[in-house]
Structure 1
């Protein structure tokens, strides 16, 4: 982003005012607002240009290998603009590595993709640490609790109840099975 001489003058005055707060004249306030609006417009335009470039890059990637020179040039422009190569870009470059320009660009993209992954991992680790709960503090007894007079009197102990042996008998766990009664012989059956 480049500033004109007038915009630099306004920016310099705004920075001086931020460092040494003082009342501003209405003209200075209007100049700062116009500069802020111009910067916002430039940022929006850069976003639109980036979206167009990435859409164009995707179209060229879909039409490979016939669009190899155009794709390589667009990818270099996108990388220069801060684009992190996607998995599709790496796969396309791997398929085209017979071309020396594509092979060199593949090496560059692999380095950039690795940096991008590492940066995301660092951010994720930091976010996880920020979300992790703080260790619990120990509870301390405060004065003014129950006194000895408030304590309940201990009950008289009851005599111990004899306990059962710890292991149950097999007959308690598995009751005996009743044997089925055999059917009566055929001659004793009554015809009905």
Structure 2
């Protein structure tokens, strides 16, 4: 039986995602149909519907997976912050540029909950807040919102410009902007 989680189901999901990501390189998400995905993935429509409700649901699943993967670039479960997270993020974006164009569009239309923190941050919030200079959890959430929106804008600009700068250069730019010791308003 082809139930979610077994090897055949996983392979089918991966084929659907692969076809979908390739279609995103060719056209806007609004012009991609379930029929077209099924034809290229060589599966029946009913098989598609076992995994996803529609194309939007497929995109939402990919966005969720991508969010987990992006958080994993910065935070290693049980070990804290990983070095080089921004460089890895920009390498990932460069590799999957078509997806990230659509992803960033979808992100702009989604109701994001900035009150959600990565598990590693949430587990250590009482220890992290004073070290980072935040007086309350709410202040940290405002900071997270500000940083996330700013980084999203930088990523959109980089993608619009065709990812001209290297991932290393983009990491340097973001890290330079994020230095807490910058005296911007003096």
What TM-score range do you get, normalising by the shorter chain? Answer: under 0.3
Instruction: Please tell me whether Structure 1 or Structure 2 has the larger radius of gyration of its CA atoms.
Output: 1
Normalised TM-score (structure 2): 0.24
Higher helix share: 2
Q: Relative contact order (C-alpha < 8 Å, sep 6+): which is higher? A: 2
Task: Report the TM-score, using the length of structure 1 for normalisation.
Answer: 0.24
